Chain A
Amino acid sequence: MATSAITHSLPASSGPAHTLRIFCKETKYEFLKLMRTRSFSLAIIGFPIMFYVLFGIANRNSYTGGVHIAKYMLGGYACFGLIGAALFGIGVGLAGELAAGWLELKRASPMPASAYLFAKCASAVAFGLIIVSVLATIAVSFGGVSLTAVELIKMLGITMAGSVAFASMGLLLALIVPANAATGIVNLIYLPMSFLSGLWVPIRFMPHWLQNFAPALPTYHLSQLMLHIFGYGDSMSLSAHWNTLIGFTLLMLGLSWLIFHRKEQKA
């Protein structure tokens, strides 16, 4: 017996094929919708590419202590891009849909909420993969970066994990931030967080007191996972980074759940 306003599952009379079809359609249209929103799709794919072309390509021949700067920046901007896709796609997108009453219509329909959430998450992952693939192509073609197939596959894997983690953060933001402030607030969180995690400039070039912020930020841990693939990571163990990221995701999901249920009870 359902006790909340959202439909958790489909009626017994519909089969798994029917459910799968809903998930696929929901995902397909969510992705199409995001792609067609040029203000989102062009910016979210364009900015990381632009930054990488400006700063990464310029450093194609720079090495410091065995680290190829252009390759280091590929890792950093890949994270920057996929995190932006998740936060803006879901944080701003969901907040807008909540405010517009669109979500109310879907909640009144037999659509299972899991299909909607899955579609949002899958679209964030799709955009993340697109961004990272384009960046990797540019890096290899123009940045003089040498990337093995294994490294690329690992990058795409970390991209998927990171997209899911930050999709959960986007979900929480959409629930607590009013829709018309969403873009501004997401920017205020996303940009400083990216900077302080060393996504643009490695943290060792920052003043010491700023460096201390990094381990507290989930973006730092994601970027370290990415950089570890190239052997450029810090001294912390991989499992420590994974644990922090997973813990962060669970925290975001837990808080979202609580806030959603509190909203439901007031409805």
Chain B
Amino acid sequence: MPLSVVAFETEPSAATPAIEPTQPVATLTNITKRFGATVALDGLSLALRPGEIVALLGPNGAGKSTAIKILLGLSAPTSGIGQVFGANPRSATTRTRVGAMLQTTRISEMLRVREHLDLFRSYYPCPLTVAEIHRIAQLHGIEDRLFGQLSGGQKQRTLFALAFCGNPDLIFLDEPTVGLDIESRRALWQQIRFLSAQGKTILLTTHYLEEADSLAHRIIVINKGRVISEGTPAEIKRSSGGRTIRCQTRLSREFLSTLPSVTSVVPTETCVTVVASDAETVVREMLLRDETLSDLEVTSPALEDAFLALTQRS
């Protein structure tokens, strides 16, 4: 084969613009969405950066599914702009770079797993190989089963496989581990981390705060259609009031209250519980003042508490 033909074929395609590392992969800018009299989204803005896992948290009815539908191009905002890869989420080119796992999907029970994969793979220009998909989603042994014959966990894995089978750059996972047992959930987390490590951007919604805490690089908390908090899991947890120091000490309650950044001191019979945002300074001070201090325990607040505090406040 002539060298010139080979050279031509290896030229990068000019059709797909390269995304710069700092440019967001998807944005919602000041989105308002009304369904009749109900306001589902009220001036919501968020951005997804390349390669990150973002968890979208919020109570039921907060607008998470609506926001995802707008990003998927299934719904149009009443006002505001949604963009994916710098373009309209409804364009065909954009869709070839996006995959989704939606929670209310009951896909056809009469097709086999490999047939579902075959069909979905055909929509995308450069899908992953079948062997690769089976490996990542752990579909070995169930490829030939009808979807209706699968267990709950197997169905979730198949739906997850459909989300990434086209090798998209952006993946939406809407409550991906609902109804799964611990083992399956942990396995799916591993698979999600694997995809993220390959540079894919993932937006997931979940009610399992442990899942958000464990997987996400960044958490966005929304309530009543607006973003009420955004940050890394650690930042969100810290924002709810600081870390808890528990120990046995002979230092008095009054003294402990005077230490910098202490917000509460609760003595009990066995120990004292001090809440402070700058835990290190407080602990250092306590250790200096009391050599008999024992049973020291410093814990971060649970994400659940931070989340509840945030959503009840708004």
Contact = CB atoms under 8 A, between A and B. Distances in A.
A111 B123 contact: yes
A51 interface: no
A57 B286 CA distance: 100
Contacts of B35: 266
Nearest to A9: B92
Interface stretch (B95-103, B243-251, B300-308): B95-103
Interface in B85-99: 88, 90-93, 95-96, 98-99
Given A33-B110, A105-B162, A108-B95, A2 B122 contact: no
Given A5-B75, A104-B74, A267-B75, A110 B90 contact: no
Given A108-B74, A108-B95, A102 B106 contact: yes
B95 A32 contact: no
Interface residues of B, number: 39
Nearest to A99: B106
Contacts of A112: 92
Contacts of B99: 109
B110 A32 contact: yes
Contacts, number: 105
B74 A2 contact: no
Interface in A7-28: 7-14, 18, 21-22, 25-26
A151 to B, nearest CB: 35
Contact of B123 (A1, A33, A110): A110
Given A11-B92, A32-B110, A110-B124, A105 B100 contact: yes
Interface residues of A, number: 37
Q: What does DSSP make chain B's interface, helix, strand, loop or mixed?
A: loop
Interface in A202-240: none
Given A1-B91, A2-B88, A13 B125 contact: yes
Contacts of B108: 33, 97, 102
A112 B76 CA distance: 19
Contacts of A25: 118-119, 122
B105 A105 contact: yes
B110 A37 contact: yes
Nearest to A18: B125
Interface of B: 13, 15-16, 35, 69, 72-76, 88, 90-93, 95-96, 98-100, 102, 104-108, 110-111, 115, 118-120, 122-125, 146, 162, 166
